[in-house]
Amino acid sequence: MTRSSNKKGKKKEAADAAGNPAPEAMVQDESTAPGPQDGAAKNAAAGDPADEEALEAEVVVPSVEEEPSVEDQLRRERDDFQEKWLRVLAELDNVRKRARRDVDDARRHTQADLLRSFLTVHDNMERALQSLRNGPDNGDREGFLQGVELIHQSLAALLKERGVTPVEAMGQEFDPNLHEAVAQLPREGVESGHVIEIVQQGFRIGDLVLRPARVIISS
Protein backbone atom coordinates (compact mmCIF):
# COMPACT_ATOMS: atom_id res chain seq x y z
CA MET A 1 0.00 0.00 0.00
CA THR A 2 2.87 2.31 0.50
CA ARG A 3 4.16 2.03 -3.05
CA SER A 4 0.77 2.51 -4.61
CA SER A 5 0.08 5.57 -2.50
CA ASN A 6 3.41 7.08 -3.41
CA LYS A 7 2.74 6.58 -7.09
CA LYS A 8 -0.65 8.21 -6.80
CA GLY A 9 0.89 11.22 -5.02
CA LYS A 10 3.51 11.70 -7.68
CA LYS A 11 0.91 11.53 -10.46
CA LYS A 12 -1.22 14.14 -8.68
CA GLU A 13 1.72 16.56 -8.30
CA ALA A 14 2.58 16.17 -11.99
CA ALA A 15 -1.01 16.89 -12.96
CA ASP A 16 -1.13 19.94 -10.73
CA ALA A 17 2.14 21.20 -12.24
CA ALA A 18 0.80 20.85 -15.77
CA GLY A 19 -2.59 22.46 -15.11
CA ASN A 20 -1.79 25.20 -12.66
CA PRO A 21 1.14 27.49 -13.55
CA ALA A 22 3.44 28.84 -10.89
CA PRO A 23 2.75 32.20 -9.30
CA GLU A 24 5.88 33.68 -10.99
CA ALA A 25 4.45 32.89 -14.43
CA MET A 26 1.37 34.94 -13.64
CA VAL A 27 3.45 38.14 -13.19
CA GLN A 28 3.22 40.18 -16.39
CA ASP A 29 6.00 42.29 -17.92
CA GLU A 30 5.85 45.98 -17.10
CA SER A 31 6.27 46.88 -20.77
CA THR A 32 3.10 44.97 -21.68
CA ALA A 33 1.11 46.12 -18.64
CA PRO A 34 -1.50 48.86 -19.40
CA GLY A 35 -0.38 52.35 -18.17
CA PRO A 36 -2.45 55.16 -16.73
CA GLN A 37 -2.62 56.98 -20.08
CA ASP A 38 -3.91 53.94 -21.87
CA GLY A 39 -6.41 53.55 -19.11
CA ALA A 40 -7.53 57.15 -19.43
CA ALA A 41 -7.87 56.75 -23.17
CA LYS A 42 -9.91 53.60 -22.71
CA ASN A 43 -12.03 55.32 -20.12
CA ALA A 44 -12.53 58.31 -22.40
CA ALA A 45 -13.51 55.96 -25.19
CA ALA A 46 -15.86 54.33 -22.76
CA GLY A 47 -17.41 57.74 -22.06
CA ASP A 48 -15.89 58.79 -18.73
CA PRO A 49 -16.78 62.57 -18.24
CA ALA A 50 -13.72 63.35 -16.08
CA ASP A 51 -11.33 62.02 -18.71
CA GLU A 52 -13.12 63.93 -21.49
CA GLU A 53 -12.65 67.20 -19.58
CA ALA A 54 -8.93 66.43 -19.14
CA LEU A 55 -8.52 65.87 -22.90
CA GLU A 56 -10.40 69.10 -23.74
CA ALA A 57 -8.13 71.07 -21.34
CA GLU A 58 -5.07 69.86 -23.25
CA VAL A 59 -6.42 71.18 -26.59
CA VAL A 60 -5.06 74.72 -27.35
CA VAL A 61 -7.75 76.92 -28.89
CA PRO A 62 -6.26 79.70 -31.13
CA SER A 63 -7.21 83.24 -30.10
CA VAL A 64 -9.32 85.20 -32.56
CA GLU A 65 -8.58 88.97 -32.79
CA GLU A 66 -11.62 91.16 -32.68
CA GLU A 67 -12.10 93.52 -35.61
CA PRO A 68 -11.81 97.23 -34.66
CA SER A 69 -15.06 99.07 -34.36
CA VAL A 70 -16.14 101.91 -36.62
CA GLU A 71 -15.35 104.45 -33.91
CA ASP A 72 -11.80 103.12 -33.53
CA GLN A 73 -11.26 103.29 -37.29
CA LEU A 74 -12.57 106.86 -37.46
CA ARG A 75 -10.44 107.89 -34.49
CA ARG A 76 -7.34 106.37 -36.12
CA GLU A 77 -8.03 108.15 -39.43
CA ARG A 78 -8.54 111.42 -37.55
CA ASP A 79 -5.19 111.05 -35.80
CA ASP A 80 -3.45 110.26 -39.12
CA PHE A 81 -4.96 113.30 -40.86
CA GLN A 82 -4.07 115.53 -37.92
CA GLU A 83 -0.47 114.34 -37.97
CA LYS A 84 -0.20 114.91 -41.74
CA TRP A 85 -1.79 118.36 -41.40
CA LEU A 86 0.69 119.41 -38.71
CA ARG A 87 3.57 118.16 -40.84
CA VAL A 88 2.32 120.16 -43.86
CA LEU A 89 1.97 123.29 -41.72
CA ALA A 90 5.55 122.91 -40.47
CA GLU A 91 6.87 122.47 -44.02
CA LEU A 92 4.87 125.50 -45.23
CA ASP A 93 6.28 127.62 -42.41
CA ASN A 94 9.81 126.55 -43.35
CA VAL A 95 9.16 127.45 -47.01
CA ARG A 96 7.90 130.89 -46.00
CA LYS A 97 10.95 131.50 -43.84
CA ARG A 98 13.32 130.42 -46.62
CA ALA A 99 11.50 132.62 -49.16
CA ARG A 100 11.68 135.60 -46.80
CA ARG A 101 15.40 135.06 -46.27
CA ASP A 102 15.96 134.74 -50.03
CA VAL A 103 14.08 137.98 -50.70
CA ASP A 104 16.01 139.82 -47.99
CA ASP A 105 19.33 138.49 -49.30
CA ALA A 106 18.45 139.49 -52.88
CA ARG A 107 17.44 142.98 -51.72
CA ARG A 108 20.67 143.45 -49.78
CA HIS A 109 22.78 142.27 -52.71
CA THR A 110 20.91 144.60 -55.10
CA GLN A 111 21.33 147.57 -52.77
CA ALA A 112 24.99 146.76 -52.23
CA ASP A 113 25.60 146.55 -55.96
CA LEU A 114 23.88 149.89 -56.57
CA LEU A 115 25.54 151.70 -53.67
CA ARG A 116 28.93 150.33 -54.65
CA SER A 117 28.58 152.18 -57.96
CA PHE A 118 28.01 155.49 -56.16
CA LEU A 119 31.19 155.21 -54.13
CA THR A 120 33.17 156.62 -57.07
CA VAL A 121 30.91 159.68 -57.17
CA HIS A 122 31.38 160.11 -53.43
CA ASP A 123 35.17 159.94 -53.80
CA ASN A 124 35.17 162.55 -56.59
CA MET A 125 33.01 164.91 -54.55
CA GLU A 126 35.33 164.51 -51.56
CA ARG A 127 38.39 165.32 -53.71
CA ALA A 128 36.71 168.45 -55.06
CA LEU A 129 35.89 169.70 -51.57
CA GLN A 130 39.40 168.92 -50.34
CA SER A 131 40.91 170.81 -53.26
CA LEU A 132 38.72 173.84 -52.48
CA ARG A 133 39.71 173.83 -48.81
CA ASN A 134 43.43 173.51 -49.56
CA GLY A 135 43.48 176.23 -52.26
CA PRO A 136 45.89 179.15 -51.89
CA ASP A 137 43.16 181.72 -51.24
CA ASN A 138 40.05 179.48 -51.24
CA GLY A 139 38.94 181.47 -54.24
CA ASP A 140 39.50 178.98 -57.04
CA ARG A 141 35.81 178.77 -57.77
CA GLU A 142 36.35 178.06 -61.43
CA GLY A 143 38.27 174.88 -60.69
CA PHE A 144 35.73 173.87 -58.08
CA LEU A 145 32.91 174.43 -60.56
CA GLN A 146 34.62 172.27 -63.15
CA GLY A 147 35.10 169.53 -60.59
CA VAL A 148 31.43 169.59 -59.60
CA GLU A 149 30.40 169.49 -63.26
CA LEU A 150 32.55 166.41 -63.82
CA ILE A 151 30.98 164.75 -60.80
CA HIS A 152 27.50 165.56 -62.07
CA GLN A 153 28.34 164.12 -65.47
CA SER A 154 29.73 160.92 -63.97
CA LEU A 155 26.62 160.59 -61.79
CA ALA A 156 24.29 161.10 -64.76
CA ALA A 157 26.25 158.50 -66.74
CA LEU A 158 26.01 156.07 -63.84
CA LEU A 159 22.24 156.51 -63.59
CA LYS A 160 21.88 156.03 -67.32
CA GLU A 161 23.84 152.77 -67.15
CA ARG A 162 21.38 151.60 -64.53
CA GLY A 163 18.44 152.42 -66.80
CA VAL A 164 17.44 155.57 -64.89
CA THR A 165 16.26 158.43 -67.11
CA PRO A 166 14.83 161.89 -66.28
CA VAL A 167 11.08 162.43 -66.48
CA GLU A 168 10.18 164.73 -69.37
CA ALA A 169 8.28 167.68 -67.90
CA MET A 170 9.22 171.08 -69.38
CA GLY A 171 6.48 172.24 -71.75
CA GLN A 172 4.56 168.99 -71.34
CA GLU A 173 0.91 168.77 -70.40
CA PHE A 174 0.50 168.05 -66.72
CA ASP A 175 0.33 164.29 -66.03
CA PRO A 176 -0.44 163.30 -62.43
CA ASN A 177 1.30 159.98 -63.00
CA LEU A 178 4.59 161.73 -63.84
CA HIS A 179 4.32 165.21 -62.35
CA GLU A 180 3.59 166.73 -59.00
CA ALA A 181 2.25 170.30 -59.14
CA VAL A 182 3.57 172.58 -56.41
CA ALA A 183 2.17 175.84 -57.80
CA GLN A 184 0.08 177.31 -60.59
CA LEU A 185 0.93 180.61 -62.28
CA PRO A 186 -0.40 182.47 -65.29
CA ARG A 187 1.90 182.51 -68.30
CA GLU A 188 1.25 184.33 -71.55
CA GLY A 189 1.36 182.21 -74.64
CA VAL A 190 1.09 178.95 -72.69
CA GLU A 191 -2.05 176.91 -72.52
CA SER A 192 -3.49 176.20 -69.10
CA GLY A 193 -2.33 172.98 -67.46
CA HIS A 194 1.16 172.85 -68.99
CA VAL A 195 4.47 172.73 -67.14
CA ILE A 196 6.22 176.07 -67.17
CA GLU A 197 8.97 175.39 -64.58
CA ILE A 198 10.70 172.38 -63.01
CA VAL A 199 11.31 172.70 -59.28
CA GLN A 200 12.81 169.23 -58.84
CA GLN A 201 13.76 166.77 -61.57
CA GLY A 202 11.91 163.48 -61.63
CA PHE A 203 13.36 160.09 -62.61
CA ARG A 204 12.02 156.82 -63.91
CA ILE A 205 13.37 153.39 -64.72
CA GLY A 206 11.43 151.88 -67.59
CA ASP A 207 7.72 152.30 -66.81
CA LEU A 208 8.35 152.64 -63.09
CA VAL A 209 8.45 156.18 -61.74
CA LEU A 210 11.17 156.50 -59.12
CA ARG A 211 10.23 160.05 -58.28
CA PRO A 212 7.71 162.35 -59.99
CA ALA A 213 8.90 165.70 -61.20
CA ARG A 214 7.87 168.62 -58.98
CA VAL A 215 6.66 171.34 -61.35
CA ILE A 216 4.83 174.62 -61.67
CA ILE A 217 2.01 174.65 -64.18
CA SER A 218 0.26 177.45 -66.04
CA SER A 219 -3.17 178.56 -64.96
Q: What is the pLDDT of residues 135-170, one digit of tens each?
A: 655 556 777 777 788 888 888 888 888 888 899 999
Q: What is the pLDDT of residue 138?
A: 53
With cut-offs at 50, 70 and 90, classify the pLDDT of residue 21.
very low
Is residue 189 situated within a structural domain?
yes
Number of independent structural domains in the chain? 2
Is residue 25 situated within a structural domain?
no
DSSP letter for each residue of 151-188: HHHHHHHHHHHTTEEEPP-TTPBP-TTTEEEEEEE--T
3-class secondary structure, 70: helix
Q: What is the pLDDT of residue 154?
A: 86
- What residues make up the domain containing 190? 165-219
* Pairing relationship of beta strands 213-218 and 179-185 according to DSSP bridges: parallel
182 and 100 belong to one structural domain: no
Q: What is the pLDDT of residue 32?
A: 47
More confident residue, 154 or 32: 154
99 and 153 belong to one structural domain: yes
Q: What is the pLDDT of residues 62-97, one digit of tens each?
A: 555 677 788 888 989 998 999 999 999 999 999 999
Q: Which helix (H) or strand (E) holds 196?
A: strand 195-200
* Percent of the chain at pLDDT exceeding 70: 67
Mean pLDDT of the chain: 75
For position 123, which CATH number holds? Answer: 3.90.20.20
134 and 174 belong to one structural domain: no
Which residues have C-beta within 8 Å of that of residue 167, sequence separation ≥ 6? 178, 179, 201, 202, 203, 204, 209, 211, 212, 213
106: pLDDT strictly greater than 60: yes
152 and 180 belong to one structural domain: no
203 and 147 belong to one structural domain: no
13: pLDDT strictly greater than 60: no
Say if pTM beats, i.e. exceeds, 0.75.
no
92 and 125 belong to one structural domain: yes
Domain boundary at 145, 162, 179, which?
A: 162
Cα gap 216→185, rounded to integer Å:
7
51: pLDDT strictly greater than 80: no
Burial label for 29, CB within 10 Å (0-12, 13-18, 19+), is: exposed
Q: What is the pLDDT of residues 184-202, one digit of tens each?
A: 999 888 889 999 999 999 9
Q: What is the pLDDT of residue 213?
A: 93
113 and 173 belong to one structural domain: no
For position 186, which CATH number holds? Answer: 2.30.22.10
With cut-offs at 50, 70 and 90, classify the pLDDT of residue 212.
very high
Domain boundary at 162, 179, 205, which?
A: 162
Kindly state the average pLDDT of the residues 98-113.
Answer: 87
Which among 131, 152, 154 has a CA at the least distance from the CA of 143?
A: 131
Q: What is the pLDDT of residue 143?
A: 73
Is residue 110 situated within a structural domain?
yes
Q: What is the pLDDT of residue 136?
A: 55
